[in-house]
Amino acid sequence: MARYDLGISSWDELADLTPSMFRALCLRRNVRLKHERLAAAEVAAAVYNVNRNSKEDRLLTGWDFVRDGEQAEKYAAWMDAKQYVRKVLANVPYDAPRSLLMKIRGEAISELTRRGRTDAAELWAEAWPSVVPQEGDECQ
């Protein structure tokens, strides 16, 4: 491991390492492996995204391929909610009045809250920052 993974070339070089120095090299090796894994995952995500079955399929990022267990589930649920926010406004005409947009925003946030999202307003602000309440809006 010392020679192959850490690049230590001689027994003398290995002998000069303290246990904490060896551990630090191992931790740095783990960081390098994570970076390499993310780089490969970005390529996989790019290939997936250009070959999706339909425009409704969500776009993936490299993080979708490297997350583990519960973290991946939370991220997928967050991305699904964010995609829902984008779909809500997809069929609204571009010249719709602001009052209609704010009404749709309120309904979408209520629906996401009903589905158990506690961060619905933040999701909306991230997906559509131009459609957030401002001073003078009737529906907030």
Domain ranges of the chain: 1-55, 67-140
Q: What is the pLDDT of residues 52-62, one digit of tens each?
A: 888 778 888 88
Distance CA 41, CA 126 (A): 24
**From CA 68, how far away is CA 76, in angstroms rounded?**
11
- Whether the Cβ atoms of residue 128 and residue 85 lie closer than 8 Å to each other: yes
pTM: 0.47
pLDDT computed for residue 12 by the predictor: 87
pLDDT on residue 140: 46
**pLDDT at residue 69, rounded to an integer:** 66
Identify the pLDDT of residue 110: 92
Structure tokens given for 65 = 């391929």
Residues of the chain with pLDDT under 50: 139-140
